[in-house]
Structure 1
Amino acid sequence: MGAITLTKLYDSEQLKHDIYKLSEHYDFIKVHTIGYSVLGEPLLELKIGEGDKRVHWNGAFHANEWITTPLLLKVVEEYAEGIIHGRQLEKELFSSTRLSVVPMVNPDGVNLFMHGSEIAKAYKDLVNKANHNHVNFTSWKANIRGVDLNNQFPAHWEVEKQRKPQDPNFRDYPGEKPLSEPESKAIYDLTQKSSFHRVLAFHSQGEVIYWGYQNKEPSQAKSIVGAFQAVSGYEPVHTIDSYAGYKDWFIQDYKREGYTVEVGKGINPLPWSTFNDHLKKVKPICFKSMEM
């Protein structure tokens, strides 16, 4: 029986419940609050391992891509089980790697997706307008202020500002300035403080892995993403006409490996019934990111 609860209503309360169950069950999983969302939800980071290699995973930058949150937590749980049972690979990874995981970057947006505009409090009118007065929020990607958190980073942000929506919207609005939102700023600050060697941002959908940015990525990124492809079947894509994303900024500023992993194929939100199929591909990518 696993410590976490797999449910298609995976909101921030479920996340908090599961994270604290994991940290109680496995005393080597440390939990930190790296900041708070607009509505005051804690942005939680899990840390595992004692090594020198610093690897970071995050999920649910986008509200309707929330399935990435339970996927990452399930991988963490299975990793922890391997450590407890003394499996060789997991023991070696624990010794060599310091893993950081922020499973839900955008808790307000996920809660809006799950529960509707009643949870938006002072932002209820804003979200209804930004959602074009649709009854449900199945297309919503932004945070509660209608800002796309993965369009917020100082990596040619001004390009996105010019060509994307100019007002709060259910997707793509980059905000009034880079890092205007507490959620993107928290991830930015964590990354600066932690000096990660490799970061993986999990989104959906497409079964592709974006791995470059303006040819500033290190030379080994091509072979690493090839290893990810070998274990998952996800197609490497070097670059696209997109800026101001988390992995774009990370590659630009640190000249280290950053990957955007697009889980699954279809239309967001991905059906909950496909969870186990995605787990079979996400878990080996995650393990490989610590191993190599």
Structure 2
Amino acid sequence: MNIKVRSGDTLWYYANLFNIPLNLIIDSNPQVSPTSLMIGQTIKIPGYQTSSYKIQSGDTFWKIASERRVSIDTLALLNPDLNPRQLQIGQQVLIPVQVTYRVVNGNRPYDFQVLMNDINELDEIYPFVRRETIGQSVMGKELVELQIGKGPKVVHWNGSFHANEWITSAVIMQFLNDYLLALTNRENIRGLEINPFYNQVTISIVPMVDPDGVDLVINGPPEGEFGEQALRINQGNTDFSGWKANIRGVDLNNQYPAKWEVDAARKPTEPAPRDFPGYQPLTEPETVAMAELAGARNFEKMLAFHTQGEVIYWGYEGLEPPRSMTIVNEFGRVSGYEPIRYIDSFSGYKDWFIQDFRNPGFTVELGLGVNPLPLSQYDEIYQETIGIFLASLYM
């Protein structure tokens, strides 16, 4: 929600007027000097939207403010061209509406367009969220990273490395929405006060690593060369529900130089719906973007969300730091998931992250069943995962 600066206004006054933490207003307006506002300058107020109301007979600002439970001065800020003493029937008045509800609905087929619509809406309501394009998919779709917070500890979450595990993107985005609601409304999540994390932790999120693959699973093959290639790889079968790879048939979570050659020797040797590690490591734009992001951000810990199994993999070749065990045991406690240190699998993002950065890395396998998991499991999975998201911040 945008307002215009008046003579004598300060960001501190706006924070009190709208009951929004001052640091969130400051970070929503990075081009504005907090100590020298200019009259007429546009200020973004996070956590608010506006509704429109048409003046009726007998209306006054006081009456409207009382009925809508807002202050008269918020109406004045949003309607600078209206004279409160000369309201006319039929005039439009903007009303501030504090957002106390989710705009993300994860419990639905969550393809790239749904993701981008949700990102755009969150971007509008919560302008303190920083948005970066870290690369493009094979088909040119934007690979988006979202950052929240100003803390020195950078915690990373990602989802949909595998196409038919798209439910992970929905879970991440819904929790992000809940986290932003807690920040702007000064609320707790499961009894945990959220606002202190904003200055302690920077959260880095790539909600959908494989957007082309996700769209292929949910919507079927696209028209043109890429769709035709996918159909050939899938042996003409139009059912892509078992597809894990990117649109070129490369499994993105077998693309990293962490004993890549071991997996390459025992996995498919040409593009396939799943498990083909590519002809060499880091050939795909999605995996390159994620590798470069890890190098740029220096994650203090990394969580890659997958499905299924209700387990958390946390070790790689004994290179994981000792505190990884403490962290994963807390993840297990709050979720009911089983920590598993080693598995006979290599070349994943978690493996490479631990190998190259020697920081805690985790592959979190949500839910039980056959991928893609049915949306009937969504609410249960979400409730199990909330504790892991929170624990990644405080551990």
Determine if the TM-score, normalized by the shorter chain, exceeds 0.5: yes
Please name the residue that 2:41 is paired with.
none
Please name the residue that 1:128 is paired with.
231
Q: Distance in 1 between matches of 2:123 and 2:318?
A: 39
- Correspondent of 2:387 among 268, 284, 287: 284
Q: Is 2:106–2:171's contact at 8 Å kept on the other side of the alignment? A: no
1:245-260 equivalence runs, <5 A: 245-260=348-363
Please name the residue that 1:23 is paired with.
123
- Higher RCO structure (Cα 8 Å, ≥6 apart): 1
Please name the residue that 2:88 is paired with.
none
Amino acid at match of 1:56: H
Please name the residue that 2:307 is paired with.
204
Q: Distance in 1 between matches of 2:144 and 2:374?
A: 25
- Correspondent of 2:276 among 153, 173, 181: 173
Q: 4+ residue stretches of structure 1 with deviation over 3 A?
A: none
The change in CA–CA distance for 1:258 and 1:120 in structure 2 (over 3 A counts) is: farther
Deviations 1:28-75 (A, max 9, x none): 211111100000000011100010111000000001000000100011
- Correspondent of 1:213 among 316, 319, 334: 316
Please name the residue that 1:32 is paired with.
132
- Correspondent of 1:47 among 116, 138, 147: 147
Aligned-pair RMSD on alpha carbons?
Answer: 1.1
Ranges in structure 1 where 5+ consecutive residues have no aligned partner: none
Q: Distance in 2 between matches of 1:212 and 1:234?
A: 15
Amino acid at match of 1:102: V
Matched, 1:95 2:199: yes
Q: Is 2:105–2:174's contact at 8 Å kept on the other side of the alignment? A: no
Matched, 1:79 2:175: no
Matched, 1:63 2:136: no
Bigger Rg, which one: 2
Deviations 1:225-254 (A, max 9, x none): 000000000000001010000000000011
Query: Percent identity among equivalent residues?
Result: 46
The change in CA–CA distance for 1:186 and 1:120 in structure 2 (over 3 A counts) is: farther
The change in CA–CA distance for 1:132 and 1:254 in structure 2 (over 3 A counts) is: same
| Deviation (angstroms), 1:7 | 4.7
Q: Is 2:312–2:363's contact at 8 Å kept on the other side of the alignment? A: yes
TM-score for the superposition, normalised by structure 1: 0.97
Q: Distance in 1 between matches of 2:185 and 2:170?
A: 22
Amino acid at match of 2:166: W
Q: Is the deviation greater in 80-89 or in 106-115?
A: 80-89
Q: Is 2:106–2:173's contact at 8 Å kept on the other side of the alignment? A: no
Deviations 1:169-212 (A, max 9, x none): 00000001111000010000001111101000000000000000
Q: Is the deviation greater in 54-63 or in 89-98?
A: 89-98
| Deviation (angstroms), 1:127 | 1.1
Aligned length: 291
Amino acid at match of 1:266: G
| Deviation (angstroms), 1:120 | 5.6
Please name the residue that 1:4 is paired with.
104
Q: Distance in 1 between matches of 2:232 and 2:195?
A: 51
Q: Is 1:120–1:144's contact at 8 Å kept on the other side of the alignment? A: no
The change in CA–CA distance for 1:123 and 1:175 in structure 2 (over 3 A counts) is: same
- Correspondent of 2:377 among 264, 274, 280: 274
- Correspondent of 1:137 among 223, 227, 240: 240
Please name the residue that 1:238 is paired with.
341
Q: By percentage of residues, which structure has more helix?
A: 1
- Correspondent of 1:106 among 210, 219, 235: 210
Deviations 1:52-106 (A, max 9, x none): 1110000000010000001000110111111111236211111110000000000
Q: Distance in 2 between matches of 1:6 and 1:220?
A: 32
| Deviation (angstroms), 1:265 | 0.5
Q: Is 2:303–2:363's contact at 8 Å kept on the other side of the alignment? A: yes
Q: Is 2:159–2:208's contact at 8 Å kept on the other side of the alignment? A: yes
SS of residue in 2 equivalent to 1:5? coil
Q: Distance in 2 between matches of 1:79 and 1:121?
A: 40
Q: Is 2:263–2:277's contact at 8 Å kept on the other side of the alignment? A: yes
Amino acid at match of 2:106: L
